[in-house]
Structure 1
Amino acid sequence: MTAPSPHPPSPQPPVSTTARTEAQGGDRRLPGDIDMWVMVLGDLFFFGCYFIVYMVFRAQSVEEFSAAQRHLHIGVGVVNTVVLLTSSLFAARAVIAVREGALDGARRLLWATGGCGVLFVLLKIYEWHDGLSHGRTIHDEFFSYYYVFTGLHLVHLALGLLVLGVALRELRAVGRQRPTIVEQSVLFWHMIDLLWVVIFALLYLMR
């Protein structure tokens, strides 16, 4: 008979059965759940209809739209695009960190994601203020689309920041973290990033 060890094993941090099961699921499922995917696909369809309407009206007034586009700050648009792409990188790495059990690292990455989102909002407010101060309002057809697209996107981004806050709160629940909550928040954030890339291409780049 083997004598018991005089030093008992050190206690391990509690890990919920749900978290363990979800982590083991790994690559065998889509991230998030069906409800979030329905919401994301519905939003993409909604924006897609708006994009089609914009393309139709732009085709009817190409010169007017192109002249108005020249008043946009392409540099600010590029910086905002880089900021959101960087935020999506942080968000994706947060999901990986959660699956590996590195919860402190995941929290830091989600904070960085949110920080990029706040920076995007500040840059967009600056751009709006500059445009409105120079008389570029919704009475101009191009800028009416500009304010609608970027305004709806900002609403979604604000909601995305709220969802990230929910994910951060989830990660503070010691012993019962649910990786799917983080995955769902990151999935929604990626949708926000994708929408901005399309908006940036339509409003800033297309001539």
Structure 2
Amino acid sequence: MSTSSNAPLVAPAASQALPGDLAMWIFILAELAAFTLFIIAFSVTQMLYPEMFQAGRAELDPSTGFAMTVGLLSSGFLAALAVERVRVNQARQAAVLLIAAIASAMVYVVLKLSEYTHLAQAGFDLEYNMFFTLYWLVTLFHFLHVWLGLLVLAFLAWRCWRLGFTADNRSGMESGVMYWHMIDLAWVIIFPLVYLLG
């Protein structure tokens, strides 16, 4: 009947915590709720006007949407690698990875601006029909978030280059990259909904 005093068996598990700040998690959940409302509105309207949505979708190029998806997901992967570099006190390497993440995301930005220009010149503007009203609202809402996310990544890269993040002080880095992952997640849902399904 040995009463063991080896109590610290549970201690390592207790140190596991969510990355980033709680405030950022709350902000991300609020943003995801807004995206969800847009997605529900698009889905419900598509059920009401299936022919209109099929015709509208035919004016979009799925290969362009796929290329934008690859650009954003590659950017998210590079940003995740940057967080891992900070966790082992290699902030300068993290800065380089974040710059690469920004460059990858610019593929999305350039292609989306090209798509917007093409659609506007063809007359498919916000008032053309319900499909294009929702197309512009949903994708512009996401596009603005991408721009904000790029500013966040640029700030994180600057902080990393100045060694502003370390393994023991990385909450801001994790929070910023989590926001970028939220933008990726939203696009992964928007892309098939707008360009493929129907």
> Structure 1 length normalisation: TM-score?
0.83
**Equivalent residues, number:** 183
Looking at structure 1, the residues matched to 101 and 161 of structure 2 have their Cα atoms a distance apart, in angstroms, of 17
Residue type at the aligned position of 1:59? M
Aligned to 2:83: 95
Aligned to 2:115: 127
Residue type at the aligned position of 1:91? A
Counterpart check, 1:57 vs 2:57: no
Aligned to 1:41: 29
Aligned to 2:192: 201
Q: Deviations over 1:100-125 (max 9, x none)?
A: 11122111110011112222111100
Contact 1:170 1:181 survives alignment (8 Å): no
What percentage of residue pairs aligned between the two structures are identical? 35
Q: Deviations over 1:13-52 (max 9, x none)?
A: xxxxxxxxxxx99x71111110000010000011101111
Runs (4+) off by over 6 Å: none
Q: Helix, strand or coil: the match of 2:19?
A: coil
Counterpart check, 1:154 vs 2:148: no
1:188 to 179, 184, 189: 179
Larger radius of gyration: 1
Q: Deviations over 1:39-86 (max 9, x none)?
A: 100000111011111111111100111111011011110000011110
Q: Helix, strand or coil: the match of 2:20?
A: coil
Aligned to 2:18: 30
Q: 1:79 to 1:175 in 2, by over 3 A?
A: closer
How far 1:175 sits from its partner (Å)?
Answer: 6.8
Looking at structure 1, the residues matched to 178 and 165 of structure 2 have their Cα atoms a distance apart, in angstroms, of 21
1:172 to 153, 161, 171: 161
Looking at structure 2, the residues matched to 113 and 72 of structure 1 have their Cα atoms a distance apart, in angstroms, of 26
Note the aligned Cα RMSD (angstroms): 1.8
Looking at structure 2, the residues matched to 53 and 174 of structure 1 have their Cα atoms a distance apart, in angstroms, of 44
Aligned to 2:73: 85
Q: Helix, strand or coil: the match of 1:28?
A: coil
Residue type at the aligned position of 1:201? P
Q: Deviations over 1:129-156 (max 9, x none)?
A: 1111111111221111111111111111
Looking at structure 2, the residues matched to 82 and 175 of structure 1 have their Cα atoms a distance apart, in angstroms, of 30
Contact 1:138 1:147 survives alignment (8 Å): yes
Looking at structure 2, the residues matched to 109 and 124 of structure 1 have their Cα atoms a distance apart, in angstroms, of 23
How far 1:166 sits from its partner (Å)?
Answer: 2.1
Looking at structure 1, the residues matched to 123 and 64 of structure 2 have their Cα atoms a distance apart, in angstroms, of 19
Looking at structure 2, the residues matched to 175 and 113 of structure 1 have their Cα atoms a distance apart, in angstroms, of 19
Contact 2:95 2:158 survives alignment (8 Å): no
Aligned to 2:124: 136
